[in-house]
Amino acid sequence: MTILSPAVVVTGVGAALTLAYAAHRHRQVLRVPAELRCAQLYWPRPILGPLTLRLARSRGRDSTPLPGIAVTRSSADTVDFYAYERSDRERPSGVLLWLHGGGRIAGRAALDHRQCSYLAAETGYLVISADYRLAPEHPFPAALDDVLTALRWIHQNAAQLGVDRWQVVIGGASAGGGLAAEACQRATDEGIPVARQVLAYPMLDEETAVVDAFGRGRLGWAPASNRYAWRSYLHPGPGQEAPPYAVASRRKHLGGLPPAWIGVGDLDLFFREDVDYARRLTAAGVHCELDVVPGMYHGADLAVDPQPASMAAFWHRMACAVTQGPGRAGP
């Protein structure tokens, strides 16, 4: 009789668990359209603490702007940003204040060079992408304060920028979409004009942390990462409620907010909170276009290169929402 050593038994169990996980993960990935599948779907790298956060921050590479778009680096008071514009931009044009993703704990404006230059090319708007401060080093309200600083600066310098202050749009993806929604709430209350809000799979609700029965949240941004990100951003104490403007979904009355476009995939962890926010906006009398993409997981539009046709179409619809959505009338 052959007696296996404990090390061999442990190794065998580990291999079996690894194979079982790989098979389970493969079944999940099969739900994704073939054109959206990529290697990172099989072996995700969630952000669980300071070490994995440092690794996540170090992995991101700046994307390449599209040719024909001028990109300049500047600052608005204490907030650094990139500006993107076509050489033939009409003046005054509209302006899009764009906010990058990263869970409010990672990311930077330069990662979105490609997306922002695309939006500038498609819309003819001046696009300004802000580098807001990140948690946990800078918890709420630092990021939102930075966004409002950039928004006020745009309004104060509209003439010099060659933009129409009544066509200021705020947009963003993931955490940036959540910050855009919160900035619109605060801007509305402070009387700062915002024409539209364009939110790509926005991060709106700090209580979203579970995988639902349909399987949402298994691909892309994971529940564990979401929990860590919100804790880092809010630093909640025992029984403490989120302060005003910290979490977009916590606002009770949504009436009077700018018209909105919300785009999200039906496999996204944020699907339910995004659909719920869109419905609440509509119920409050705010025009909201909800764009649900079948088979799209969180961040799928940035995950595959070259960009698949379905994600190129998603970006096109987002660009159309920047310019063609119903805006607020001027004075």
Catalytic entry in 93, 117, 129, 174: 174
The stretch 113-123 carries a mean pLDDT of 98
Q: What integer pLDDT is reported at residue 128 of this predicted model?
A: 98
Whole-angstrom distance, CA of residue 114 vs CA of residue 111: 8
pLDDT higher than threshold 80 for residue 254: yes
Contacts of 83 (CB under 8 A, 6+ apart): 71, 72, 74, 126, 127, 128, 129
Q: Pick the catalytic residue from 145, 268, 274, 301.
A: 268
Ranges 44-53, 233-242, 282-291, 315-324: which has the least confidence: 233-242
- Is 70 exceeded by the pLDDT of residue 195? yes
Overall average pLDDT of the 85-110 stretch: 97
Largest CA distance in the chain: 90
The domains found in the chain, sorted by start residue, are 43-324 (3.40.50.1820)
Task: Give residue 33's pLDDT.
Answer: 82
pLDDT value at residue 17 = 41
Average pLDDT over residues 24-28: 63
pTM: 0.90
Mean model confidence pLDDT for the chain: 89
The catalytically annotated residue of 117, 146, 298, 310 is: 298
Assign 329 a pLDDT band (cuts: 50, 70, 90). Answer: very low
| Active-site residue, 174 included | yes
Say if residue 211's pLDDT is above 70. no
* DSSP character string of 2-23: ----HHHHHHHHHHHHHHHHHH
- Which tens digit of pLDDT belongs to each residue from 133-144? 999 999 999 999
- The answer to whether residue 80 scores a pLDDT higher than 60 is yes
pLDDT at 232 over 50: yes
Active-site residue 253, yes or no? no
Q: For residues 282-292, give the mean pLDDT.
A: 98
Q: Which residue has the higher pLDDT, 76 or 204?
A: 204
List Cβ neighbours of 45 (8 Å cut-off, separation of 6 or more). 52, 55, 56
